[in-house]
Amino acid sequence: MMHDYLPITRADMNIRGWKQCDFVYVTGDAYVDHPSFGHAIISRLLEAHGYKVGIIAQPDWKDPSSISVLGEPRLGFLVSGGNMDSMVNHYSVSKKRRQQDSYTPGGEMGKRPDYATTVYCNLIRSVYKKAPIIIGGIEASLRRLAHYDYWSDRLKHSILIDSQADLISYGMGEKSIVEIADALNSGINIQDITFVEGTVYKTDSLESVYDAIDLPSYDSMKKDKLEYAKSYYIQYGNTDPFIGKRLVEPYKDNLYVVQNPPAKPLSMEEMDRVYSLPYMRNYHPSYEELGGVPAIREIKFSLISNRGCFGACSFCALTFHQGRIIQARSHESLIEEAKWLTNEPDFKGYIHDVGGPTADFRYPACEKQIGKGACPNKQCLFPEPCKNLRTDHSDYIELLRKLRNLPKMKKVFIRSGIRFDYVLADPGKKFLKELCEHHVSGQLKVAPEHVADNVLSKMGKPRNDVYRKFVKEYNDMNGRLGLKQYLVPYLMSSHPGSGLKEAIELAEYLRDLGYMPEQVQDFYPTPSTISTCMYYTGYDPRTMEPVYVPTNPHEKAMQRALIQYRNPKNYDLVEEALTKAGRTDLIGFEKKCLIRPKTGFKPGFSQGKAGKDYGNGKRTEAAAGGQREHRKKTIRNVHKKSTKK
């Protein structure tokens, strides 16, 4: 087998002696032949099964000829919007256009269309009327049934309808895509491929559909948001590959979208095989003169050790895409890849990450999940760790030790995030010591997200006292090791359930901590999450109880400003929020106050440690100097005050 990039031109096909591709993969990302990119995994897997695959990366969607550069494939087109939903890729939560696309050569924005999967499919359909089209990737996977679309602010059809595609391969896709390819290769019409797990198809007859759950119709959901909440939770309860049922979503004119149960998780041997395929592990050399593809920088010296997540945060779509059952690679597979990385010319001695959706998950949550699936009506960690949860970091510790003992290895970092409640649940506590001693680069990023327990319950996150306990144990451990390492908390504003009262509670917590985060994430309603369902419907689909949702842009701006209340630019918003919430007691000169009043300024009085003077809404030069000094001390203050708590 020729070890090279897959064909992107007719000339590349000629070098391989191909007259026609079996499949042409159209992707919204640049062509990066690395297992962190879905198009690379699926293409290389099909190649390993004997199929000829060509790549059309970021075609000009305004030019029909751009989709025919490799000719019509023998078996069909594969289409993906890319590693991210194209709308998330293009727009911030405030719906402002982003300035850079990390998955495009040179970081250039605008090389893919909005709703890329749909646009590419319609482009293909305009040129090749009857060619089979199979769509996959995160965009198709999370839009596989009717879904709320934040950017158009409406309930949209299944992407299968709007795109004119024939089939969706949802989830990670390795098992379903090979079965689809083999079916097409055997002569089965694409319309008759209705039997593959992990796929969604459309039909005008339910005669052959059995053992299915009927979802509310699209029209009924459009009329009544409560119907959508009910439909969503049925979908959420059927994401498990062992117990998930077939789902049917009716549309007008006797049209139905049918979702088959999810594909079974990969075994460790299958995972190893996927990651041992002959990837070039870099972007296509044709991008070099454009500056390369920025995304490669974060992944080139990182190792993917697992997939899936039983954390089940409400705002995360992983349950819908990768599922709750952990799948992991073997130590041997990861060490082999690490050895290869150490021989790269630009390797500096550092592995940037060893993880996945959650770094420290290496096993299914319990023995039951392996053959019987995850519990449909219970979570593994929320609201408390399940009594059957396997809390054991020994395998991960052993893996990390092997990696850091490799020749040429200076340091192995963990950047993909850990679940601090899972760390606390481990009775051995060995991992915390290992983490602090060997795998933190001065700061550990963790995601408590909020401090108000009623908001955390909507987020599916542990109570605030759990996070406080972790902070104490982390600080104590670093103290025992004689290390000065700090926590950087990720926080989220405007999540469903959060009003001004809860936002102020978070601001007071940060005041007591002496810390102002440089970055704050506004809740972003992306397709197919519990939180997005709450945002759109005003109901928590798990309980069907009403939930407060901050949707007004001005209120969202106030909640965000409260988290960064020390920033002078946020003064007016913070003052308005405190006044509106009846918390003017936090405007004043006392230590507990968040801001100073605009009037009644006391000469010579500064903002204290923050170095800000809000007497006239401006900073003096002396105050500015205090602010610079404050920045240097902030992380140390967080460490000390967290320890005291």
Would you state the pLDDT for residue 512? 93
- Residues 517, 491: contact at Cβ < 8 Å? yes
pLDDT band at 198 (very low <50, low <70, confident <90, very high): very high
Would you state the pLDDT for residue 617? 32
pLDDT band at 146 (very low <50, low <70, confident <90, very high): very high
Residue 254 identity: N
Cβ of 128: how many Cβ atoms within 10 Å?
18
- Residues 523, 495: contact at Cβ < 8 Å? yes
Would you state the pLDDT for residue 250? 98
H-assigned helices in 564-602? 571-580
Q: How far apart are the two ends of the chain, measured CA to CA in Å?
A: 61
d(CA 47, CA 512): 57
Would you state the pLDDT for residue 1? 57
State how far the alpha carbon of 191 is from the alpha carbons of 131, 160, 200, 258, in Å: 11, 13, 11, 12
- Residues 191, 134: contact at Cβ < 8 Å? no
Would you state the pLDDT for residue 600? 54
pLDDT band at 107 (very low <50, low <70, confident <90, very high): very high
How confident is the model over 66-91, as pLDDT tens digits?
A: 999 999 999 999 999 999 999 999 99
- Residues 502, 555: contact at Cβ < 8 Å? no
Does 608 score more than 70 pLDDT?
A: no
pLDDT, mean of residues 559-564? 96
How confident is the model over 617-628, as pLDDT tens digits?
A: 333 333 333 343
Residues 6+ apart with CB under 8 A from 601: 613, 614, 615, 616
Would you state the pLDDT for residue 639? 47
Does 192 score more than 70 pLDDT?
A: yes
How confident is the model over 442-472, as pLDDT tens digits?
A: 899 999 999 999 999 999 999 999 999 999 9
Does 616 score more than 70 pLDDT?
A: no
Would you state the pLDDT for residue 429? 81
Would you state the pLDDT for residue 593? 96
Bigger pLDDT: 410 vs 602: 410
- Residues 33, 280: contact at Cβ < 8 Å? yes
Q: Give, in degrees to the nearest 5, the angle at Cα 258 between 257 and 261.
A: 150
d(CA 460, CA 310): 11
- Burial grade of 405 (CB within 10 A; 0-12, 13-18, 19 or more): exposed
Would you state the pLDDT for residue 518? 78
Residues of the chain with pLDDT > 90: what percent?
A: 87
d(CA 373, CA 439): 32
pLDDT, mean of residues 217-227? 98
Bigger pLDDT: 637 vs 180: 180
d(CA 620, CA 595): 16
Would you state the pLDDT for residue 246? 97
Residues 6+ apart with CB under 8 A from 11: none
Q: Please state the pTM of the whole predicted model.
A: 0.91
How confident is the model over 262-280, as pLDDT tens digits?
A: 999 999 999 999 999 999 9
Q: In 36-53, which positions are buried (b, 16+ CB within 10 angstroms) versus exposed (e)?
A: bbbbbbbbbbbbeeebbb
Would you state the pLDDT for residue 160? 98
Q: What are phi and psi of 137, to 5 degrees?
A: 85, 175
Q: What are phi and psi of 297, to 5 degrees?
A: -60, -35
Domains of the chain: 10-201 (3.40.50.280)
Cβ of 381: how many Cβ atoms within 10 Å?
23
pLDDT, mean of residues 330-359? 96
Would you state the pLDDT for residue 427? 87
In order, the DSSP letters of 472-504 are HHHHHHHHHHT---EEEEEEEES-TT--HHHHH
pLDDT band at 635 (very low <50, low <70, confident <90, very high): very low
Structure token pair of residue 110: 């605008």
Average the pLDDT over each of 58-67, 268-277, 291-300, 607-616 and give the range with the smallest value.
607-616
Looking only at the bridges linking them, the beta strands covering 255-259 and 246-251 are antiparallel
Question: For the chain, what is the mean pLDDT?
Answer: 92
pLDDT band at 229 (very low <50, low <70, confident <90, very high): very high
Radius of gyration of the CA atoms of the chain, in A: 26
Structure token pair of residue 381: 């960690």
pLDDT band at 210 (very low <50, low <70, confident <90, very high): confident
Distance of CA 309 to the CA centre of its chain: 11
Helix, strand counts (H, E) of the chain: 24, 24
Structure token pair of residue 48: 């390993």
pLDDT band at 213 (very low <50, low <70, confident <90, very high): very high
Would you state the pLDDT for residue 390? 93
**What DSSP element (H or E) covers 136?**
strand 133-136
pLDDT, mean of residues 274-299? 96
pLDDT, mean of residues 213-227? 98
